[in-house]
Amino acid sequence: MRISGTWRLIARVFLPFAAGYYLSYLFRTINALVSDHLVSDAGFGTADLGLLTSVYFLVFAAAQIPIGILLDRFGPRRVQSALLSVAAAGAGLFAISTGLPSLLISRAMIGLGVAAALTAGLKSIVLWFPRERVALLNGYMIMLGSLGAVTATTPAEHLLTWIGWRQLFEILAAATGATAVLIYVVVPERVVASSTVPTHVTLSSVFGDRRFLRVAPLSATCVGSAWSLQGLWASPWLTDVERLDRASLVGQLFTMSIVLCGGAWLFGTMVHYIRRRGVKAETVLAIVAVLFIAAEFTLILRVPLPSILPWSVVAIVGTATVVSFAVIGDYFSPELTGRANGALNVLHFGWAFLAQYGTGLVLEQWPTDDGHKSVLAYQIAFGLNVTVQIAAFAWFALPWLRSLNRWMGSVPLFMPVGGSDALEPTISNEQAVVLVPADDDAEW
Per the CB < 8 A criterion, the answer to whether 410 and 433 are in contact is yes
Angle 212-214-220 (CA atoms, 0-180°, nearest 5)?
Answer: 80
CA distance 424 to 292: 45
Report d(CA 137, CA 129) in Å as an integer.
9
Amino acid 350: pLDDT: 87
Residue 380: inside a domain: yes
Report how far residue 225's alpha carbon sits from residue 219's, in angstroms, rounded to the nearest whole number: 10
pLDDT digit string (tens) for 162-186? 888 889 999 999 999 999 999 999 9
User: Higher confidence at residue 5 or residue 12?
Assistant: 12
Phi, psi torsion values for 303, nearest 5 degrees? -60, 135
**Alpha-carbon distance values, 308 to 26, 225, 253, 256, 288 (Å):** 21, 17, 9, 8, 17
DSSP label at 335? G
pLDDT of amino acid 270: 82
Q: Is residue 91 part of a domain?
A: yes
Percent of the chain with pLDDT over 70: 85
Please tell me the distance from the alpha carbon of residue 353 to that of residue 349, in angstroms, as a whole number. 6
CA atoms within 13 A on the CB side of 43: 1
How far out from the chain centre does Cα 284 lie?
A: 15
Confidence of residue 218 (pLDDT cuts 50, 70, 90): very high
Q: Is the pLDDT of residue 37 over 80?
A: no
Would you state the pLDDT for residue 442?
A: 43
Say if residues 426 and 386 touch (Cβ distance below 8 Å).
Answer: no
Domain total in the chain: 1
Within a domain: 31: yes
- Predicted local confidence at residue 434, as pLDDT: 41
266, part of any domain: yes
Full residue range of the structural domain in which residue 128 is found? 9-190+203-408
pLDDT band at 48 (very low <50, low <70, confident <90, very high): confident
- Calculate mean pLDDT across residues 107-112: 94
Q: In the prediction, which pLDDT does 24 show? A: 93
Q: Residue 369, SS3?
A: strand
Mean of the per-residue pLDDT values for the chain?
Answer: 83
138 in a structural domain: yes
Per-residue pLDDT at 276 = 76
- At 438, the pLDDT band (50, 70, 90 cuts) reads very low
Structure letter (DSSP) for residue 435: -
Q: CA 79 from chain center: how many Å?
A: 21
Q: How far apart are CA 93 and CA 82, in angstroms?
A: 17
Give percent above pLDDT 90 in the chain.
36
277-318: per-residue pLDDT in tens?
Answer: 877 888 889 999 999 999 999 999 999 999 999 999 999 998
Q: Average pLDDT, stretch 119-127?
A: 87
**348 and 224 in contact (C-beta within 8 Å)?**
yes
Mean pLDDT, range 251-271, rounded to an integer: 84
**Sign, CA torsion 283/278/315/298:** positive
List the one residue out of 82, 93, 54, 53 whose CA is nearest residue 173: 93
Would 438 be classed as within a structural domain?
Answer: no
Cβ of 433: how many Cβ atoms within 10 Å?
Answer: 12
Mean pLDDT of 349-364: 90
In this structure, are residues 17 and 76 in contact, taking their beta carbons and an 8 Å threshold? yes
DSSP, res 11: I
**Residue 108 near residue 55 (C-beta atoms within 8 A):** yes
pLDDT at position 27 over 50:
yes
Mean predicted confidence (pLDDT) in 102-126: 91
Phi and psi at 419, nearest 5°, equal: 175, 165
Most confident region among 8-17, 60-69, 140-149 by mean pLDDT? 8-17
125: which residues sit within 8 A by CB, 6+ positions away? 13, 14, 134, 137, 138, 141
Q: Which of 439, 354, 429 is nearest to 403 (CA)?
A: 439
* E strand or H helix that includes residue 414: strand 414-416
DSSP classification of residue 372:
B
Q: At 359, give phi and psi (nearest 5°).
A: -60, -40
pLDDT at 42 over 50: yes
Residue 444: is its pLDDT beyond 50?
no
User: In this predicted structure, what is the pLDDT of residue 287?
Assistant: 93
Distance, CA of 207 to CA of 252 (rounded, Å): 39
The whole-model pTM stands at: 0.71
pLDDT tens digits for 338-348? 678 778 888 99
- How confident is the model at residue 412, as a pLDDT? 57
CATH number for the domain harbouring residue 335:
1.20.1250.20
Domain membership flag for residue 198:
no
Q: 281, 136 in Cβ contact below 8 A?
A: no
Q: Is the pLDDT of residue 109 over 60?
A: yes
Residue 149: pLDDT over 90: no
pLDDT digits (tens, 9 = 90+) for 368-426: 887 788 999 999 999 999 999 999 999 999 887 777 666 666 655 444 444 444 444 44
Answer yes or no: is 127 within a domain.
yes
Q: Is the confidence at residue 119, as pLDDT, over 70?
A: yes
Report, in angstroms and rounded to the nearest whole number, the Rg of the chain calculated over CA atoms: 24
Position 232 scores a pLDDT of: 80
